[in-house]
Amino acid sequence: DAGITQSPRHKVTETGTPVTLRCHQTENHRYMYWYRQDPGHGLRLIHYSYGVKDTDKGEVSDGYSVSRSKTEDFLLTLESATSSQTSVYFCAISWSDDGNSPLHFGNGTRLTVT
């Protein structure tokens, strides 16, 4: 798992509730990413971070926010979960300081919004 821990691994929540997913890395890598995986779409980037308090949007950022107050933690928040956000969420890190290297992924969080 390249030193990446995602929590929780599984979560079921109701529409309209807030949800926060956590990604923790054991090394001080600069770049961290949140992806969602859906059938037929592969992985799509939600948000990424290039340092503490430095974040930017990916291609499917609507309905999601992120925070990075410490190098080792990157949080993904669904302020008001919807059924369309049922998915498997993957955190990833880049081992290079410029982000231009293969990514290493956590084992994912399966989120179900009922």
Partner 1 sequence: GNSVTQMEGPVTLSEEAFLTINCTYTATGYPSLFWYVQYPGEGLQLLLKATKADDKGSNKGFEATYRKETTSFHLEKGSVQVSDSAVYFCALINNAGNMLTFGGGTRLMVKP
User: What span, in angstroms and rounded, lies between the C-alpha atoms of 34 and 52?
Assistant: 15
C-beta of 17 vs 107, nearer to partner 1: 107
C-beta of 31 vs 74, nearer to partner 1: 31
CA 86 → CA 31, 64, 67, 68, 77, distances in Å? 25, 13, 21, 23, 13
Residue 84 phi/psi, 5° resolution? -70, -10
Stretch that binds partner 1, among 15-23, 66-74, 77-85, 86-94 (CB under 8 A): 86-94
Q: Which of 7, 84, 107, 114 binds partner 1 (CB under 8 A)?
A: 107
Q: Which two tokens stand for residue 55?
A: 């974040």
Stretch that binds partner 1, among 13-21, 60-68, 76-84, 101-109 (CB under 8 A): 101-109
34 and 48 in contact (C-beta within 8 Å)?
yes
Stretch that binds partner 1, among 19-27, 65-73, 79-87, 96-104 (CB under 8 A): 96-104
User: Footprint of partner 1 on this chain (CB under 8 A)?
Assistant: 1, 4, 31, 33, 40-45, 48, 50, 58, 90, 92, 94, 98-108
